[in-house]
Amino acid sequence: MPVSNATPLMYLAKIGVLKYLRQLYESIQIPPDVRVETVDRGIKEGCSDAFIIEQALKEGWIIVEELSDENLERARIYADTMKIDLGEAQAIFLALQKGEKEILIDQTEVREAAKSLGLIPHGTIYVLIRCCQRGFLTKKQATDLLDLLIEKNFHISVGVYKKALTMLERMS
C-alpha cells in the first residue's frame, strides 16, 4: 500500500480520476500533514478537490497514518535540511516507517530525496499511464487528461510531457 504526498492526490482529484488510485492500489496511506494540506486547508479555500479527497478518506481507502515521535522529528529535521515541505518529508518517513517501497510524489527534488533513501517514487503522470495500461482509460482519454493537468497548473517540463505522450502512443 503506497504512501502519497499531497500533489498527486490534489491533481488526480482536480481532473476527476482520483478513484482510479483505489483500483490500482486498493488503498493509499498519507501522513497527517498531507491531510491538512489536501483536505483541511483545501476546504477552507473552497477547492473542489479537497471534498473529493475528503470523501475518499470517509470511504476508508485513503488512510491517515501517524508517524512515530522519532519519525516525526526525523521528518522535521529532514524537511529543514533538504528544504522540502514538512508533508513531503512526512510522506517519505511514513513510507520508511511502514516498510513501503512505493511513494507517490511529483516534485523532482523530493523524488530524488526519496530515491536516495531507497524508495521508488512515482507521480501523477505515472498514474495516468498505469490507468491506460490497465484499461481504465483509453489513450485518447489519458492524453486529454495530461493536457487538462497542464490547464489546472500542473508543473511539467516539455521533455516529460513529450515522453508521456510517446509512452501513451506506443501502448497497444
Per-residue pLDDT of 25-72, as tens digits, reads: 999 999 999 999 999 999 999 999 999 999 999 999 999 999 999 999
Q: At residue 90, does pLDDT exceed 80?
A: yes
Grid cell locating 119: 524508495
Q: At residue 172, does pLDDT exceed 80?
A: no
pLDDT band at 171 (very low <50, low <70, confident <90, very high): confident
Burial class of 13 by CB neighbour count within 10 A (0 to 12, 13 to 18, 19+): buried
pLDDT of res. 81: 93
Note the pLDDT tens digit of each residue in 5-28. 999 999 999 999 999 999 999 999
Q: β-strands 62-64, 102-104: how paired?
A: unpaired
Which residues of the chain form beta strands (DSSP E)? 3-4, 28-30, 62-64, 102-104, 120-122
Structural domains of the chain, ranges and CATH numbers in brackets: 3-124 (3.40.50.1010)
Grid cell locating 151: 490547464
Q: At residue 78, does pLDDT exceed 90?
A: yes
- Supply the DSSP symbol for 3: E
